[in-house]
Amino acid sequence: MSRNQTADKKKLLLRLVKTPIVEVACTQAGVPRSTYYRWRKSDEKFSEACDEALEESTGRINDLAESQLISAIKEQNMTAIIFWLKHHHKRYATKVEVTARFKQDEALTPEQEVIVQTALRLAGLADDNTETEVSNEQPAT
């Protein structure tokens, strides 16, 4: 590895620690993005170092965002308050309720009963001694 390449990799890693945006880090380090991806593919240690740098910088951004959110809550910003509660308190979390009416007009055919019983047995939701005999033959589909 050439001295320039080693220096460029170090410079790029330093940029990635400061910003988790590959395009921006590459531009600031003077390294083409295609070169960054080529280096990642060919150099496992560089790839791992990039992942660590990206994780560290993402963590910093998350900390900054959370700090700003808390500041907004202190300033009684209702949107920030709602966001915090929805994501940090079970009582205020978004819930989905599904209501449906089901009307079964037809009984299952014997073939369908075998399929259902087999599925329940394989899922461990029915005993092997179910009312319907399950044969080893596969039902026609």
- The span from the CA of 88 to the CA of 69, in Å, is 13
Report in angstroms the alpha-carbon separations of 136 from 107, 111, 118, 129.
Answer: 23, 13, 10, 15
- The span from the CA of 10 to the CA of 106, in Å, is 70
Tokens of 50: 């990039």
- What is the pLDDT, as a whole number, of residue 129? 63
pLDDT in tens, 53-92: 999 999 999 999 999 999 999 999 999 999 999 998 888 8
Sequence spans of domains, the chain = 3-92, 106-141
pLDDT in tens, 103-140: 777 888 899 999 999 999 998 888 766 554 444 445 45
- The span from the CA of 138 to the CA of 122, in Å, is 14
- The span from the CA of 55 to the CA of 20, in Å, is 8
Mean pLDDT within 13-38: 96
Mean pLDDT within 22-32: 96
DSSP-derived secondary structure letter, 30: T
Residue pair 8/16 in contact by the 8 Å Cβ criterion:
no
